[in-house]
């Protein structure tokens, strides 16, 4: 890995997780406050994460195995906020019923 690749790859990896966090944050706050604009922003954030994922695949010298892991992670990150939110909602509702 060249020195330039080292910095570029690590910054892209940092951006990848940061955008996942931004997606989760905006998605949750959007649902909480019932703001469609924030939900839209969350999906923009995820779209940016997909762009970063593409950049990691195309522009970095990571081996195919690690690139595959990044793609799989990207798909999992997309599902975490809705699944977590739904699960939390369900257990809170069940707790209320109990």
Nearer to other proteins, 58 or 94 (CB): 94
Please give the structure tokens belonging to residue 47.
């779209």
68 forms part of the interface with other proteins (CB under 8 A): no
Question: Which DSSP string corresponds to 5-42?
Answer: HHHHHHHHHHHHHHHHHHHHHHHHHHHHHT-HHHHHHH
21 forms part of the interface with other proteins (CB under 8 A): yes
Instruction: By CB under 8 A, name the binding residues for other proteins.
Output: 1-3, 6-7, 9-11, 13-14, 16-18, 20-21, 24-25, 27-29, 32-33, 61-63, 66, 69-70, 73, 76-77, 80-81, 84-85, 88-89, 91-92, 94-95, 98
């Amino acid at each position: 890995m060249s020195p330039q690749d080292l910095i570029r790859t690590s910054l892209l990896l940092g951006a990848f997780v940061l955008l996942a966090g931004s997606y989760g944050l905006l998605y949750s706050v959007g649902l909480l406050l019932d703001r469609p604009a924030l939900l839209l922003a969350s999906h923009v954030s995820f779209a940016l994460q997909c762009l970063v994922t593409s950049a990691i695949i195309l522009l970095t010298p990571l081996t195919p195995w690690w690139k595959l892991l990044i793609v799989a992670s990207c798909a999992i990150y997309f599902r975490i906020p809705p699944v977590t939110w739904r699960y939390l909602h369900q257990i809170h509702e069940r707790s209320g019923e109990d």
